[in-house]
Structure 1
Amino acid sequence: MIGLVAVNGAVRALAAELHAAWPDSSKVYRASVGNCFGPPEAVQLALHECEFVICVAPLPGTVRLLDYAGPTSTRDKGLLCVDPLRRYVIPVSSDPATAELAWEVAAVLGVQPVFTNRRDPRETALAELTRQALLGPGAAAGVPTAAPTEEPVLRIPDPQDPDDPDSDLTVLPRTLVLGIGAGSATEHTEVMRLLMDVLRETGLSRQSISRLATVAGKGDHPAVNWAHWCLGRPPVDEHPADALAAVPVPNPSAAVGAAVGTASVAEAAALASAPGGELVVAKRKSAHATIAIARTALRGRLTLVGLGPGPHDLLVPRALETLRSVSAVVGPPDAIAAAAGLLRPATRRIATEDSAGAAATLASHGHAVALVALGDGAALSVPPGPYDVLRVPGLPAGPPAVPEGAPA
C-alpha cells in the first residue's frame, strides 16, 4: 500500500491525482495544520499502515516530518517527496523499489525525478536541491501547484464547507481522445512525459481523456500500456493502417507513411476514435513518440423525471431504467435524497437549487443526465441546447395510489 500524505489543503489535488493512478493500492492522508490530525500525525499513521509513503511537501518539511517520526518508524519504508509546485519527485530512501516508484510518480505527474547515490539520501537530496536552487522562496508549504487545468463543466461548492475550494464537486467532460504514435525506440514513460508537457501548456485536463487510439499492432506497446495505466485504464482503440491513411490530417509525414503504411498515426488515430470531432492539439513530438488530442462530437441527453409524491418504489420501469443508466442525476437536495437509493454507486449526484442550469450545462457537454424533482415533474423545464430532451413520468397514469389502510 502507498500512503499519500497531503500536508495541507493546497496540495490535496496532487495527492488525489496520484491516488487516481493507483485507486486500489494507495490511500490519501489529509493533514490539517493546527488540527489534532496535523502533518506529523498524518505521516506517522501512513508509516504505520503503508509500505511506501509519499509526502506532498517541500523537501525540508518532509525531512523534518520523517525525523520527527524517528528511525524506528521509517526503517524498511519506501519514502518519497513530491514538490508542491509540481517540479520534481525525490526518493528519500535509496532502495531500488523506491527508485522505481519515483519513476512511476514522475510519469503520472509529469515531473522530474531527482536521484542521489550517497550514503544518507535525506541529507544529500536536500544539499543537491539547495545547490541547484530548486528550493527558493516560492517552494514554501501552502503554495498550490502552478500547473493550469481545464475549467470544469460544473463546480458546486460543498454546502458543509463552502469556503474550501478543495471540497467543491467538479465535473470535467470526458470528451478527449489521445492519439499515440510509438516506435521500437520509444521508452515506456516517454508518451506520458510528452502528454504532461502538452497538458500543462494547453490547460487541458488528463481527467478529460476518455480513450486512447493508435495504429493496429501498437496497443500492447510498453509506452501505450504505461499511458493506459497512468490515465486510469481507458479503452485503447487500434485502427488498421489503411483506415488511418484515409483520414485527412493537417500534418502528414511521408517518412511515417513509408514505414507504417499511413502518413499519420497520432492525429489520424485520434480523429478516427472521435467521429465528427476535431483536433484540439495537433501532432506533438518527442525523441521517439508522437501524440495528438481530438475532442469527440457528442450530443447529450437530458431526461426530465418526476419522482412522485409518495413511495419511490412505485416508479414506472422506464423511470427506474433512466435513473440507472445516466451518468449524472441533478435536482434539488430533497429530490436527490429521495432518488439516492435508486442510483448506481458510480452515478454523480448533484444537489443544487439551480438544477435546470446545472443539468443543461452537463448535457451540452455530451453527458447523459436526469433532471429530477418531487411530484409529477410537469413543472420541469430546460432551455434548448445541443442535447435531446426526453420526459419520463415517474408514476403510472391514472389516479394516485392510495396507501394500504388509508380511507378511500
Structure 2
Amino acid sequence: MRSISKAVAAVTLGLTATLTATADATPKLATEQTIGHIEPVFEFYGAMPTGVTKAPDGRLFVNFPRWGDDVPFTVGEIVGKRIVPYPDAQTNRADPAHPADSLISVQSVVADSQNRLWILDTASPKLAAPIQGGAKLVAVDLATNKVVRTILLPPNALLPTTYLNDVRFDFRFGAQGIAYVTDSSPHGPGGIIVVDLASGEAWRKLSGDPSTSADAAFVPVVEGEEMATDGPDGKRRPLHGAADGIALSADGATLYYSPLSSRHLYSVPTALLRDRNASPAAVAAAVRDLGEKGASDGLEADASGAIYAGDYEHDSIRRRRPDGEWQTIAHDPRILWPDTLSVGNDGYLYFTANQLPRQASFHHGHDLRKKPYTLFRIRIDAKPVTLAPNPV
C-alpha cells in the first residue's frame, strides 16, 4: 500500500509540475499598442474643459463652456498647479442682462502673435440659441491682462441655431485682420463666419453647404458604443454637429475645416471667403474634399505645412503631411475625446481630453465621466502658424 501511495504522490507531483510549467509558458494575450509619447500637463477636477491655447510667452489658457457643469469661470489661466479666472473673476460672471460686458459661455481661446488672447464667446449656455447681443470676440492684452477689444457679431452672421465653435486669425488683410469662425450648429445649417476685425462686420460663407454640414449617414462609435442621444420620440439620434475644427495653412491661402459629424477633411481658398461679392456657387465650387482623416473635433496646423486632427473614435491624434499622407502620431486609451489642439512655440502640440461622449446626454441621463480631465502634449518639433501684419 505504501508503494502505491508513493506512486500516486509521484504522479500527482508530476502533473502539478507539468501544469505549472505549462501555465508559466503561456504567452500573454496580445493587446492594442500605443503610439507616440503623450505627456500629462494639467489635470482638471472641476468643470470640463474644451479649448486650450499656448501663448508665445509660454502661458497656457483654457476655457470651460457652460453646458451644464458648475462653471465658476468660463476662461482660465493655468498658473503652476492651479487654474485662475482670466482676465479676472468679474469678467467671467455671466450677466445675461448685459451680455456684451461679460463672458457668457466660451467655446474657444486663441493666443496670437500680437500678444493678445482672443476669446470666442458663444453666448449659448446649455447649447441654446445665442443670447441677443452676447455672441462676440474678445481680445485681452496679455501684457496688461485687460480687455482691449470686444467685437459683437452682427445679426446677419448669426442664425437662431448658430453655435460658434472655433476661430483662426490672419492679420495680413484689412486694417486689423480677419477672423474665420466655424458654426457647428447641432440643429441647423453649419457654415464659416468671416469677421473684419477693424469694422466688426461679419458675413456667412458656405452656409448649409454639404462640406459644413453634418453627414446624415455618419454614426460615431466611441468606446464601442454608438454616440447618440434620446430624441423626444424615444428614438436614439446619433451625434449631429456641423463645421467644427478649423485650421489655416502656413501661407494663409487655404482654410481647412471639418464637421464634427463626419470623417472628411475639406478645404477652401481663403480669398473667396474674404470676398463678400463671391457668389455662394463660386465658393462651393472651390471646396475640395480631401478624403477621410477620422472623426475629429479640433484641427490645427503648423508652420511646416502639416495639419493635425483628433480622431475621437480611436483615441488618437493624426497628422497630415504636406504631401497629403496621414500618419497617427499618438494613440493611447487616455486620449478620451481629443478636443482642441494648439501648437506652441516650444515644439509641442497641446490638446485637451475631456471625456465628452461620457456626458449624461449620451447615456440616458447617467454621467459616466471620471475626473480628472486632462491636458496633454506631444512633441512635434514644429512652430505654430503665424500670419502677422505685413510690415509697412
Q: TM-score range by the shorter chain?
A: under 0.3
Structure number with the higher strand fraction is 2
Structure number with the higher helix fraction is 1
TM-score by length of 1: 0.25
TM-score by length of 2: 0.25
Bigger relative contact order, structure 1 or 2 (CA pairs below 8 A, ≥6 apart): 2
